[in-house]
Amino acid sequence: MMQHKWPKDAPHRHHSRRFALIPRVVVNGILAAALVMTAGCISSRPSNIAGKPVDPTHYDRFEQVASDLPIYRTESVTKDRSSANHAGAVRLASAESGHQESSATAPSISEGIESSEPLSDEPISDTAFVTLASSEKTSADEIPPGYNDATLATEEQAGRFNTAPSASAYQLSLGNILYLADVQNPNIALARERINEAYARVEQADTLWLPSIRSGLNYNHHDGAIQDVAGRVFNTSRSSFYGGMGAGAVGAGSPIAPGLMAQFHLTDAIFQPRIASHQASSRQYGAAATRNDALRDAAFAYLELVRAEQDRAIAQQALFHTEELSSVTSAYARTGQGLQSDNERVLAEVAVRRDEVVQSEEAVVTASARLAALLHADPSMTISSGEPVVIPLEILTVQGTAGEYVATGLSRRPELAEQQQLVCEAIERMKRERYAPLIPSVLLGVSYGGFGGGFGSDITNSNGRLDADAMAYWEVRNLGFGEKAAREQTSSAVRQAQWRNLALMDTVAREVVDAHTQVIKRRERIEICRLGVVAAKRSFDLNLDRIRNAQGLPIEVLQSIQALRVAQRTFLNAVVDYNQSQFQLCHATGWFLAT
């Protein structure tokens, strides 16, 4: 099997997103040692996702940098990169996948061409790192022979068929599409912003035990009856004033609003940071899952655009052949060598072919708009792939069994990691309810300020005043029945989270098996359909030679034109479906992530 020799020095760079660990504020050591009665959940926050998120533009990037594209609405697209000759690459796998690492790079679709030899089961590269680089051009000497019989348009007719992008279209490669989707997709940006919110809640939970600071002043005046501490009621007139840390100091009692006040359930101070931490971790993995979905959808949309453009070329070629045949049958009918009915039949076929061209042009615009929506671009601007032919991509080397890929998917899919963190969160909530009656609530208050007062409206005898209050109390809700109900609710929530995790594992396993099967079977379809194109093209050429040698009627070529169109479309669909199955397997096994 003839293979490409791809350049080995295609530059690529990987930005890994690492968060700094958030320092955990702890309660007084002696008090915590007496109250903490259980260890944490079965899984703590992983170090590679813990901490406060940084700017979203520092996330893992696909390194294919787009040119200065006015249709895109994000400044980061046009930022200067560290290398002027940066070719760009799409990192689709991880070193933890269990496969060997390789520096091999595969070209974009536009740089590959078809081979006349049958496809082999031999892999192009057994690599865990496969990149799609499009800025380096392959020289003519390095290009192997093409599928001349399966090409969708001949060289003489290339100018007549719309296989190249129009002047007003923005030509983007697959690497551009994946990079822009990672940077500009609104769903990815939303998921990353939810991470920021979750880590802000972690910080809030870490500070539950810290006091709040209050300062203010108050004035009080009383006229009439009042009761003293001995129970006697008497008439008096008095006034008082307080200012400083806290407010609401009247008479002998403590200020209503202490200057420094901490009021919390100690159970919340212990368990809420753990709960918030698992929530943040689940958001982190959820954002990774959203990114996986967006990249797969963008790749699918790009391949659908390629399908639409190539289908338009097929329709234009079929129209060209049919119009040429129409001119011949018309001449035969005028000279009496052919039937007028044959000419009318070909004219009807011309109308059908023209309608197909219009439909294919509509499909191109629709596919471009759908792709633009995923990139957060102006849908009125046309995007073009610029791919002259469609070829099978070798993103993954499918050598293992379906069971091996299922194991990879179960260990790498971010959806499963997200659900596992939610299980841990539910367990921490259950622990919180279990220990709530045993751990007290705490109220601490300290106030200091100037206080003065006197008879009537006089404010005299002013001096400093310090008030300190400390309180701890235990609570059993609703005579114990409330505690029992709370525990049952949280226990049920744990079981529900565990069942959701198991159901998701089944879904992931099914998706991996489906994608693995699609890759294998659709690869077999490519060779079958290629042979069909070769046979249909040979039939068309033989029938055309017979007509040129006056050995038959022109109408006999019509069926060959129709068969060639069907064979070309079947081959196109087989290749595009195969390429999509490769990306689906990447998604199913979590290989879009770079750990």
Residue 450: Cβ within 10 Å count = 14
- Could you tell me if 22 and 195 are in contact, meaning their C-beta atoms sit under 8 angstroms apart? no
In angstroms, the CA 407 to CA 415 distance is 14
Please give the model's pTM, rounded to 2 decimal places. 0.68
* C-alpha distances out from residue 592 to 129, 163, 290, 372, Å: 11, 30, 11, 21
May I ask the CATH class of domain 29-209+268-384+398-435+482-589? mainly alpha
Secondary structure class of 543 (helix, strand, coil): helix
* Closest to 127 (Cα-Cα) out of 48, 46, 12, 16: 12
Domain residue ranges in the chain: 29-209+268-384+398-435+482-589, 215-258+440-473
In angstroms, the CA 422 to CA 401 distance is 31
Helix-strand-coil split of the chain, %, nearest 5: 50, 15, 35
Residue 252: Cβ within 10 Å count = 6
Secondary structure class of 170 (helix, strand, coil): strand
**pLDDT by residue, tens only, the chain of 595 residues:** 333 333 333 333 333 333 332 333 223 332 333 333 333 333 333 333 333 333 333 323 323 323 332 222 223 323 333 332 222 222 222 223 333 333 333 333 333 323 333 323 333 333 222 223 233 333 333 322 222 333 333 333 333 445 555 556 788 999 999 999 999 999 999 999 999 999 999 999 999 999 999 999 999 999 999 888 788 898 889 899 999 999 988 877 889 899 999 999 999 999 999 999 999 999 999 999 999 999 999 999 999 999 999 999 999 999 999 999 999 889 888 888 888 888 899 999 999 999 999 999 999 999 999 999 999 998 888 899 988 888 998 887 777 889 999 999 999 999 999 999 999 999 999 999 999 999 999 999 999 999 988 888 888 888 889 999 999 999 999 999 999 999 999 999 999 999 999 999 999 999 999 999 999 999 999 999 999 999 999 999 998 888 887 777 888 889 999 999 999 999 999 999 999 999 999 999 987 654 3
